[in-house]
Structure 1
Amino acid sequence: MTRMLSRALAAWIELMTRHAIWVIAVGIVITLGGAWYSMTHLSMDTDDSNLISSHVPWRKTYIAYQHAFPIYNDNLVIVVDGATPDIAGAATDKLAKALRQQPNLFPSVYEPGGGQFFAKNGFLYLSKDKLQSLSSRLTQIQPFLGRLSADPTLPTFFDMLDKAMAPDAPVDMNLAPVFSELAHTFDASREGRYNRLSWQQLIGGDQPGVSDQRFIIVQPKLNYGALLPAQKPMQAIRDAAKRLNLDAAHGVRVRQTGEVALSDEELASVTHGAAWGASLAFLAVGIILYLGLRSWALMGASLASLVAGLVGTATFAALAVGRLNLISIAFAVLYIGLGIDYAIHVCLRYREALAELGERVAGRAAGVRHALTSAISDVGLSLALCALTTAAGFFAFIPTSYSGVAELGLISGVGMFISLVVSLTFLPAAISLMKPWVPSTDTTTSRWAPFIGRRAQRLIWTLSAVAVLACVMALPFIRFDPSTLDLKNPNDEAVKTYRDLLAHSEHSPLTLVTTRPTLAQAKGLAARIAKQPHVSGAMTVANFVPGNQTAKLSIIGDLALTLAVTPPDMSKHADFGARKQAIADFAQHLTAYRKSDTGDDAAAARDLAQSLSAWRDWFAQQKPAAQKQILASLHDRVLSGLPRQIDGLADAMNASRITLKNLPESLRKRWIGTQGQFRVEVSPSGNLDHESAMRKFVASVRQAAPHITGAPVLELSAGHTVSSAFMHAFIYAAIFISLFLLVLLRSVVDTIRVLVPLALSGLILAAATVVLDIPFNFANVIALPLLLGVGVDSGIHVVHRLRQREHHRPFLGTSTARAVILSSLTTMAGFGSLAFSRHAGTASMGQLLTIGMLAVLITTLIVVPALFRILRE
């Protein structure tokens, strides 16, 4: 059977070499056509959730939720941070207004807790006691607001403070907030920092939405025909922020995160890493090829075959799958590292055949064809077997629910057979045309190669046993990281912003959600969940209908009669002398106030006095022109936020009764589904950046709602699904390869000789994840099954060589050992280039594959020979 296959291969190669020009021409046409087709038909899918099969139960639950609430799909979250709540609020309003003017890019723009509805009805969301307290405070300061609205100048502002600090002040006020705000303002003026006194904090500190961090949620128009679908809307947001001066120089920071931003930035990292990795792998493989083959012609033919096979694999991906995901895009780098192995074996055997040929064939062309026919008839069958075992390592993931790696396995597994076909067609045709005459001058032995005697054999056995024991001790500490966030580039803005929200924001993005057919059921479930540990609260649309509205509207009505303020005329300005004198008078009154002050605002008064003194000393050192500019700037710092707050108070005086029916549509569709379902959202009580906290949160909520979904459930469930898929794939690959070896080698002992170093390499790789703190994740989980398929190839070559020749010469000096080393180096070059990717998941895949291949190389070249009988000392 073997001889028949060898003769068939010889006849095939004879055909390829005699019609080499036609083979090359057809190969070039097919490659160019495949390149065009793959470039125009191969798309990218950046949705992390699609890495898992949609038929898994927990995915079905989430998909049903997405259909009920499509408004939450493809969201872009804009985080606006301001130096003060006033600045944050004003910046958010301006940016949201600018985005609404671009409906072609932003069909949906939503401000949580913002907009006209909450500006008008915000007071109704306060408790009755807080609203009464706010009403009393506003009533007390109404005379001051009235006077300041009529004359919004620095002298008026400081004169009002002077009167408030006087012993016979008409109203007993807590001045600590004003003192603190003024201290910050004077410090910022002296230090040249942007700052605005927060009137919102001073007047309406108890209002909802008083925060220096605000959000805008947009659903942008995505262009899936572009490489980065959200690039245009994300750039439009940056341009709008720049145009509106929403930057650090004006006390504002605008950042983007959310599903869309994370996907786009991850896609940019992955594609950049794939392109960089493929280029680096190609260069490294080229260098290693030349060093190993010592022939420009052979190296050029091998690299041309590599490109043809890579394009063919990409064409298959476009035809069979149609898209690449965040994991399967690594197929190119994996192919470069693995696909070149067949060309290496063909070229090395070709050189040996030339050396064996000598002068027996007349004519160079005939000699090249004869050497090619002899070489491929010798190694062709073993190359086919190696393609089968390597593909098995990839195909092992196809039956699993891990769609992301299953697609990579399908593409790369078929790519191994494409590489085999190219190596048996295009490569021999290219060599026959170039006719490189480079007979091998290497001998089967080398003086430097050590001979493994009985003493060395025992030492290898002992060291292997120690290594196994040490690795087994590390196995309990192996962990799987289910976080998709940890796979992304940690330096991307969207990732850093998302982590910042997890750690510091009151609004965690990791919430759990579920639906109920009626509002009563949703409210009942929310009440039960809210009592669970690790839960900060559970909301439904009913939470947006305030309680005690009759009493609250009465308080607001009374306040409206008292709080009669008009919008301030900001065109009024005091002259330089009046401003300077007002500050001097204020400093004197503050000194007098501190002598008699023993209240709660004493500390704030002390801080203000220190800041004011430092500011006045600095101010006195400035030139007259600079002093005028400083006081004009101080006017803006103190009073520019007043008009917005006065307008906000005027809006709040027009509050009306809220019902489910008159809630704004933008709010209703976020809580009431397309089929009338009512949404329940559960927030955690702590930071879920750690897996243990996330597990506790999910387990606690599931006691009340077993079928709840949301980002934490998706992350944990995906981790369980992928780890199970990894175990199944590893078992499938191990069973297939073991049976394959038994059939191929027809010896249980030789099968064990191949599998033992592979098992040791797997243990070393597993222990390395613990020592180097590189946990298994969604991307690098392919390492063990793949290394099993790749590593067995070298083991087969070594066992065949050791079976054919008596083990009385240094094995490391043989051509087989050199071929194993060279092919392993090219594979590690391909895998290792992935380690330089900015995408953390791809980088960890490259790291583990490189470590695993190094372990396979060492154990194959040292442990396998030590398992054979020593015939010479």
Structure 2
Amino acid sequence: MRALFSKPWFIGLLILPLFIGGLMRLKLETDILATLPGEVPEVRALKLLRDGFTGGSDLLIALEAEDELAAEEAMTTLAERLQKRTDLVKEVRWAQPMEQQAQSGAALMAWSLQNTDPAQLQAVRARLEGEGAKAKLQQSLQTVANSLDAEKVQRASYDPLGLLDSLDASAMSALEGSMFGLVSEDGMFRLLLVTPATSVGNYKSAEAWLKQIKAEVAEWRGDEKLTLRYTGEPAFQAEIGAGIEKDMSSTIGITEVLIALLFWIMFRRLKPLLWIQGLLMLSMVLTMGAGGLLVGKLSIMSLGFAAIVLGIIVDYAVLIIQEARQHPEMDARGLCRLAAPGIIAGACTTATVFLSLLFSGLPGLAELGLLVALGVLVGLCVMLALAPRFTAGKQPPNSVVTITGAPARHGPAAVGTLLLLGGIAWVFATHGLPKFMTGAESLRPTNSEAMDTLQWMQDRLGQQNEASLPILITGPAVELRARAQALSVKLDAAVKDGTLIRQALPTLLISDPAAQTANREFIQWLLAEQARLEKEVDAAGFAEAAVALLRGVCGVWKPALEGPWPQDEANAAAGPVLGRLLATGDRATGADMKPGEGVALASISITGKPGLPDRAKLAAVQKLLTPDTGAWVAGWETLGGALSTIVQHDLNQQLLPIMGIIGFTLLITFRGVKDLLLSVLLLGGGLGALAATMSLLGLGWNLASLAAIPLLLGTGIDYGIHLLLALKRTGNDIRYVRATTGKAVFFSGMTTVIGFASLFFAGNRGISSLGLACCVGTLWILLIVLWLLPHWRAWLRVK
């Protein structure tokens, strides 16, 4: 048995079930918010906005027709058709005609009245008792007949008794329009909200459900000239999940093909190419298995790990091949001992730098760092264990490189060094350093139909010259109404001083149990007086529609008084509307809300355009939302600034430890200070050249691409280690090192470039920009390593 445990294949068989279990556990995470730090208030606000309110998981179908009548008719018929598919749809909501909204509208008014100030309702009662009702009705008739204010005329027509006079007039803006943002001003654009019949919590089920809905819509649509587009959570899940699958397969596939092509061009041997491909696949399977055990998921930000890992670990196989070509007499064990020091030093340094991303404030980048580090370490073990067995003693007779002739000239390298340093200095002096872009655009998909539809929806429903932003008011449910009232005072002042165009807080709809208890007496009085008041309205000459509000609210209150009082909004007839504006932790929602916590959804409008608010105005609004208000802007517009602060702080915190780790590793590897300083110059020159290139091209850092700095430190130092160790072994024979180890380093660098370049095609803007920065930075570091670094070492007379 002891002999078995000494066999690598037997140990491999024992741990294989663990990796298989990890692969089975690995899943795709399609939620972009899951890749962001949940403790950041702006991130939590976005999660609450999406998960804490009714409709957070709905599919939004946007419809536009040639005229208002056609749009209304099309939306109604489509909604009614989908309502019949109870196997697919739980609920459908759309902007129904006024007569069809009477029940929910009355319930909403009843809920607002029973939570209003009891003193205001008592004043209404005092005006309507005895002969007061006739006087109030005559006053309303005069308003209808003589007022030039259309709003006052309309209100007097449907509320001649003045029941709504008890409500705060300034807060009524939160209830303006019965359409609740589902119809554009011209009426030609409309939204349909579709709630799935069952949970579509993963992208596979979301994709299958969405296909069924689209098929139903296509059958209904026929040849009608309509514009129909889809957005919302199911659309995003299906789109992002499919994108991750495509990115994974395409990046791995493209990387594998390009690496194989590069290997064939450089070495022209088929057999090594085949076993290298096999070892790369084995490494990736083991890495994904280990990742499944430790991480359990692949997110939209960590999906690019595979291409990066492939570009790094293939280097180890090529370095071993190159050593085998130069030492054909060595066996596998001797070859491993010769190649191992440089490979281990480079791999450990690279893995350590990537592991430093675990301390990043962005969970998505932390996952990326962990998976790449796992892949590098797994690839190190696989290559050192198996690659020497495939290469030792199996090289062609003419594989040994011999160099004759004069030594390498230092003149061109001196000119190149001056051009490099002078060029960097000139660019920084004339163009400055690359700017850091604080927006959250880098976190969004590169090409997203669902995102484009969402932007189109915002453009059509919003005002052309203003941007509407959601505001979440959070806090204990019992304090929520008071917080909303206090915030309303601040926002009203902001409207007056021009900071805001308008504000709408649902203060009237927030529950006030004490007011509900006090208002029960008024409600009982109104129910008892309903018949008399209806007769008074009729006798005054009003149309039948004038008693609709009275009948509606009394119809809501009559059965409510027979149950528990005060009635919770979750059981109120207005629940579907309230659920879109209010949420509590006592309900089962997808949001991480504490019991007793309440959230109210408000909105503000500031100058700008839909989705592009004026930055100065937005900053002024954020200053108003102090912690005591419990209010936050729940939008991507503010997310970028919050996250950029975290990312820059992380970078400042990580750079010194990373440089310390690199320095310690280099001291152990080189056992000399001069080679360590050369490595630092190499990294500094590469990063400086990258920054200068970005400035010259007008590019800037963003939340994701900033991670290129630690990544380049980890991958770039690898090339320097291999070349400097080779120069040390050969006594600074520059031409020989370039023809042997330099050839392997060039291949290694180009495979890393291929790995990063494949990220250009990723479905996420941040990952794509990260790939671009790493690709350009690697090319600069590779140029310095192969051309300038050997001459720098010779000038310093390092032995």
- Normalising by structure 1, report the TM-score: 0.68
Corresponding position: 1:529 with 2:491: yes
Tell me which of 409, 431, 436 is aligned to 1:479: 436
CA RMSD, Structure 1 to Structure 2 (Å) = 4.2
Tell me which of 670, 686, 689 is aligned to 1:761: 686
Distance 1:556 1:440 in 2: 114
In terms of mean alpha carbon deviation, does 342-351 or 293-302 score higher? 293-302
Deviation for aligned residue 1:817: 1.0
Query: CA 1:63/1:384 → structure 2, altered by over 3 Å: closer, same or farther?
Result: same
* 1:307 partner letter: M
Query: CA 1:798/1:765 → structure 2, altered by over 3 Å: closer, same or farther?
Result: same
Task: Write out per-residue CA displacement over residues 257-311 of structure 1, whole angstroms, 9 at most, x where no aligned residue.
Answer: 2344234323322321221111010011112223333322222221111111111
Task: Determine if contact 2:68/2:186 at 8 Å carries over to the other structure.
Answer: yes
**2:577 is matched with which residue?**
667
Tell me which of 417, 420, 424 is aligned to 2:380: 420
Task: Determine if contact 1:518/1:677 at 8 Å carries over to the other structure.
Answer: yes
Deviation for aligned residue 1:784: 1.5
Distance 2:231 2:695 in 1: 32
In terms of mean alpha carbon deviation, does 762-771 or 821-830 score higher? 762-771
Deviation for aligned residue 1:71: 2.7
Task: Determine if contact 1:450/1:812 at 8 Å carries over to the other structure.
Answer: no
Tell me which of 682, 693, 696 is aligned to 2:614: 693
* 2:462 partner letter: E
Deviation for aligned residue 1:751: 1.2
Deviation for aligned residue 1:349: 1.0
- Partner SS for 2:720: helix
Corresponding position: 1:303 with 2:277: yes
Tell me which of 207, 212, 230 is aligned to 2:188: 212
Tell me which of 772, 785, 790 is aligned to 1:865: 790
Deviation for aligned residue 1:509: 7.1
Tell me which of 411, 417, 421 is aligned to 1:461: 417
Task: Determine if contact 1:774/1:844 at 8 Å carries over to the other structure.
Answer: no
- Partner SS for 2:794: coil
Query: CA 1:530/1:833 → structure 2, altered by over 3 Å: closer, same or farther?
Result: same
Query: CA 1:347/1:265 → structure 2, altered by over 3 Å: closer, same or farther?
Result: same
Task: Determine if contact 1:77/1:258 at 8 Å carries over to the other structure.
Answer: yes
Aligned residue runs from structure 1 range 596-615, under 5 A: none
**2:221 is matched with which residue?**
245
Deviation for aligned residue 1:43: 0.9
Distance 1:789 1:770 in 2: 23
**1:272 is matched with which residue?**
246
In terms of mean alpha carbon deviation, does 530-539 or 824-833 score higher? 530-539
Distance 2:301 2:28 in 1: 11
Deviation for aligned residue 1:717: 1.7
Corresponding position: 1:710 with 2:615: no
Distance 2:508 2:404 in 1: 82
Query: CA 1:871/1:335 → structure 2, altered by over 3 Å: closer, same or farther?
Result: closer
Task: Write out per-residue CA displacement over residues 566-617 of structure 1, whole angstroms, 9 at most, x where no aligned residue.
Answer: xxxxxxxxxxxxxxxxxxxxxxxxxxxxxxxxxxxxxxxxxxxxxxxxxxxx
* 1:234 partner letter: L
**1:288 is matched with which residue?**
262
Structure 2 residues not aligned, in runs of 5+ = 110-143, 159-182, 511-532, 558-566, 585-595
Deviation for aligned residue 1:413: 0.5
Tell me which of 312, 317, 321 is aligned to 2:291: 317
Distance 1:856 1:809 in 2: 18
**1:85 is matched with which residue?**
68
Deviation for aligned residue 1:417: 1.0
Aligned length: 672
* 2:416 partner letter: I
Tell me which of 360, 382, 405 is aligned to 1:400: 360
- Partner SS for 1:214: strand
Query: CA 1:250/1:773 → structure 2, altered by over 3 Å: closer, same or farther?
Result: farther
Query: CA 1:279/1:689 → structure 2, altered by over 3 Å: closer, same or farther?
Result: farther
Task: Determine if contact 2:40/2:642 at 8 Å carries over to the other structure.
Answer: no
- Partner SS for 1:804: helix
- Partner SS for 1:716: helix
Deviation for aligned residue 1:504: 4.4
**2:455 is matched with which residue?**
499
Distance 2:309 2:623 in 1: 44
**1:37 is matched with which residue?**
21
Query: CA 1:81/1:655 → structure 2, altered by over 3 Å: closer, same or farther?
Result: farther
Deviation for aligned residue 1:408: 1.1
Deviation for aligned residue 1:100: 3.3
Task: Write out per-residue CA displacement over residues 129-186 of structure 1, whole angstroms, 9 at most, x where no aligned residue.
Answer: 3257779999xxxxxxxxxxxxxxxxxxxxxxxxxxxxxxxxxxxxxxxxxxxxxxxx
Corresponding position: 1:381 with 2:341: yes
Corresponding position: 1:50 with 2:34: yes
- Partner SS for 1:329: coil
- Normalising by structure 2, report the TM-score: 0.74
Deviation for aligned residue 1:758: 1.2
Distance 2:549 2:212 in 1: 33
**2:777 is matched with which residue?**
852
Distance 1:749 1:336 in 2: 32
Distance 1:229 1:695 in 2: 43
Tell me which of 590, 600, 606 is aligned to 1:679: 600
In terms of mean alpha carbon deviation, does 260-269 or 461-470 score higher? 260-269
Compare CA radii of gyration and give the structure with the larger one. 1
Distance 1:742 1:221 in 2: 63
Deviation for aligned residue 1:503: 4.0
Task: Determine if contact 2:703/2:766 at 8 Å carries over to the other structure.
Answer: yes
Task: Determine if contact 1:53/1:59 at 8 Å carries over to the other structure.
Answer: yes
**1:605 is matched with which residue?**
none
* 1:417 partner letter: L
Corresponding position: 1:470 with 2:429: no
**1:110 is matched with which residue?**
93
Task: Determine if contact 2:468/2:610 at 8 Å carries over to the other structure.
Answer: no
Task: Determine if contact 1:76/1:219 at 8 Å carries over to the other structure.
Answer: yes
**1:515 is matched with which residue?**
474
Deviation for aligned residue 1:843: 2.5
**2:723 is matched with which residue?**
798
* 2:360 partner letter: T
Distance 1:801 1:554 in 2: 100
**1:611 is matched with which residue?**
none
Distance 1:562 1:402 in 2: 57
Deviation for aligned residue 1:663: 5.8
**1:586 is matched with which residue?**
none
Distance 1:509 1:538 in 2: 9
Tell me which of 646, 652, 659 is aligned to 1:734: 659
Task: Write out per-residue CA displacement over residues 672-692 of structure 1, whole angstroms, 9 at most, x where no aligned residue.
Answer: 322473614123324467777
Task: Write out per-residue CA displacement over residues 391-415 of structure 1, whole angstroms, 9 at most, x where no aligned residue.
Answer: 1221111122211111111111121
Distance 1:82 1:296 in 2: 61
Distance 2:689 2:94 in 1: 52
Task: Write out per-residue CA displacement over residues 37-56 of structure 1, whole angstroms, 9 at most, x where no aligned residue.
Answer: 34421111122222123344
Task: Write out per-residue CA displacement over residues 192-212 of structure 1, whole angstroms, 9 at most, x where no aligned residue.
Answer: xxxxxxxxxxxxxxx997622
Structure 1 residues not aligned, in runs of 5+ = 1-14, 139-206, 358-369, 564-649
Task: Determine if contact 1:489/1:840 at 8 Å carries over to the other structure.
Answer: yes
In terms of mean alpha carbon deviation, does 700-709 or 662-671 score higher? 700-709
**1:7 is matched with which residue?**
none
- Partner SS for 1:753: helix
Distance 1:849 1:555 in 2: 78
Deviation for aligned residue 1:753: 0.7
Q: Percent identical across equivalent pairs?
A: 20
Deviation for aligned residue 1:116: 6.1
Query: CA 1:242/1:394 → structure 2, altered by over 3 Å: closer, same or farther?
Result: same
Deviation for aligned residue 1:341: 0.9
Distance 2:545 2:600 in 1: 40
Task: Determine if contact 2:57/2:195 at 8 Å carries over to the other structure.
Answer: yes
Task: Determine if contact 2:606/2:613 at 8 Å carries over to the other structure.
Answer: no
Deviation for aligned residue 1:28: 8.5
**1:130 is matched with which residue?**
150
Deviation for aligned residue 1:466: 0.9
